[in-house]
Structure 1
C-alpha cells in the first residue's frame, strides 16, 4: 500500500455526490474541498448556514449548503427530507461533524451532548439517507472516530447520558467508541447487499477548533506544543478521504495517520481497540440507538427508510 497517500491519489469523482457534515471549518472543510476539486458534487451539511456559504465560496467546484443541527433530531429529519428531495443519489456520506470535551450539556432531545451529536445524530442521518446509497455500487458511509475511543472508553448502557456522574473525557471516549461500533455493525448489515460499504477514519492530532472545550490544563499544553505534535487539518483529513475514495478500501476498515502513535502522517490502515470489536455490544448499541432516535434502517431492497 502507498504509505504516502495524498489528495493526488483521489480518483476522479465526476458524477458522484458527497454529503459531508460539519464542513464549514477544519477537517470537514478540507474533506469537502478535496472532493469538490476532484469533481464531486458536494453538499456541506452544517449548523450555521451563513458560515457554510462562506466556506463553500472558498472551495472550487460544485458545492452547496444544507442546514443540519445534529443536536436536534427534528433538524436531522428535516435535513434528510431536504436532501432526499433534491438528491436522487448519494455516493458518499461522510459523518465528520463532532464536539469534544464539552462541559456537561444535553442536546435538544435530552441526550448527553457528545454522545447525542457524535453518535446518535449521525446514526439517525445515515439511516434516513441510506436508501439513496444502496442502489449505487461503490457508495460509502465514512464515520470519523478518534484515538479517544481508547481513553476511558466503554458503552455505559446503565448511564448512557451520564446523568449519574459526568466525565468530559469519558463521554467523548464513549461517543467515539460508538462511532466505530456503528461502522462495524453497519458494515455487517450492508455486506449482504454488496453495493454500499461502511468505513471509518481518525485524524490523529490535528490543529482544529475541537480542542476549544478541553480543560485548560490540557488545552494550554496542546496549544504550546501544537507546532511539534499536531498536523494541519488538510493532513488530518487524509484518512477520511482515503477511507472515502481509495478503490482498495474495504468495508469495515479503519484509516488513520501512519506516524508514531498515529498522531500524524500519511494515512494507512490502522487497528481499533478490542472493545470496538465486541459484536454483542455493537448489536445492543444499535438497538438502543434505534430506540433513542426512532430511526430504523432500510432493509435490503427497501426503497424508503422507516421511522418510528
Structure 2
C-alpha cells in the first residue's frame, strides 16, 4: 500500500477556495433576493433560490472536507473520504428539489392571466451581477472539481446558476425591448431544465461510487494484461477496482507467482513492481496484492 498526500477536497487550499466561493455566493444571493422583490421577476427569484442552493452546497462541501481530512482509525480504516460522496448526494437531491419548485412556479405564472409587472431594467442589472459572480466562483473551483466529487457537486451548481443568469439576462432584454412578460416564466423553466440533467449526472456518479463499481475510464482488462506481463507472474484472479471518492481508486488482486520466483526470493521485487505499475500507468496509489504460489492455488482449487 502506498501513502500519498491529501488531494482534492482534502487539501486545505481547496477548502479556502470553497470558503471564498461561499462568501461570493452568499453576497450575490442577498442582492438577487432584493432585486427579485423590487422587480417582480420570478426568473430572478428562481436564480436567487438557486444561488441559495449553491451556498448550501458549499457549506456541505466545507463540512465534508473537514470530516474527510480526519485520519484513518481502527473503526474507519480508509479514513473519512466517503464524507465527500455523501455531501455530493445531498447536493444532487437539493438540485432536483429546486428544479421541481422552479418548474411548478413557472407553469403557474404562465397559466395565470394576471401576470405581475416585471421591471426589466432592474432584472437585467441584478442578473448581470450574478453572472459575473458565478463566473468568478467557477474559475476558483475549476481545478479542484476534477479530483473531488463533492467539489464537483458545488461546481455544477455554480455552473447551473451561471447559465440561469444568462437566461434571466435574455428574458430581461426581451421584456425591455418588447414588453412580453411571459419571457420571465419561460426563463424560469429553462433554469429548471438546465438543473435536472446535471443533478441526475451527479447522482449517477454518487451511485457508482457507493455501489463500488469500477471507476469510469478504468479498464480492468488492461490492468490484468499489465499484471500478467510482469516477469514471474503466471495468473491473476479476484481482481477488484473501486473508489472511495472521485480521484481515490483502490485496487486488490490475488497474483499467482511461479515457484522459481519464490525459490529465488524475487517475490518482494515482483510485489514492488506491481505496485509501481498500478501507480504509474493507472494512477492507483492504494493497491493490495496477495502473492500466491502455483501450488497454493492448485490446493485451494482442489479443496
Q: TM-score, normalised by structure 1?
A: 0.26
Q: Which has the higher strand share?
A: 1
Q: TM-score, normalised by structure 2?
A: 0.26
Q: Which has the higher helix share?
A: 2
Larger of the two Rg values belongs to structure? 2
